[in-house]
Amino acid sequence: MAKPFLKIEDFICLIDQYQVPIFRFALGIIFLWFGALKVFNVSPVYDFVVTAFPFFALPWMFSLLGIFEVCVSMCLLFNRFLHPALILMILHLFSTLVIFIIKPSLAFDPFPILTMGGEFLVKNIILIISGMLLISKLRKGVCQS
């Protein structure tokens, strides 16, 4: 009987060995994509964001948000300034959750049915947790008692 090319234990060890760079790369690509769409004014979330936060209606403000996201992505992709970039990413994403409080009608139709915007916000919860997990992996050993 032929041996499997890769045993499940070997696969798990491989993931464990490369989880931080894979995580960084995935978050970096996501933020690069989201940010670039904003910079080039082709983001599908423009109307949603402007309805929730009218000050983003100024074209340069929405582009500035995109530039911020691209900068965070560069930090993640090039493994530079990771802690500040991840903290800023988490704060940025957390701030989007304010919509649940200030404009719940954008997120629910009615509660608990999510709108497309609501799904967008729930996705941000996963990205926030991803950033938190990545910080904890990078700071391994700092918080041991």
Residue 14 lies in a domain: no
Residue 2 lies in a domain: no
Residue 8 lies in a domain: no
Reported as a single tens digit per residue, the pLDDT across 28-44 is: 999 999 999 999 999 99
CA atoms within 13 A on the CB side of 10: 5
Residue 96 lies in a domain: yes
Closest by Cα among 139, 142, 131, 143 to 23 = 131
DSSP label at 80?
-
What is the span of the domain harbouring residue 105?
Answer: 20-138
CA distances to 9, 11, 103, 145 from 93, rounded to whole Å, are: 35, 32, 16, 30
Work out how many domains the chain is built from and give that number: 1
pTM of the prediction?
0.87
- Number of helices (H), then strands (E), belonging to the chain: the values are 7, 0
Per-residue tens of pLDDT for the chain, all 145 residues: 666 676 888 888 888 889 899 999 999 999 999 999 999 999 999 999 999 999 999 879 999 999 999 999 999 999 999 999 999 999 999 999 999 999 999 999 999 999 999 999 999 999 999 999 999 998 875 555 5
Residue 125 lies in a domain: yes
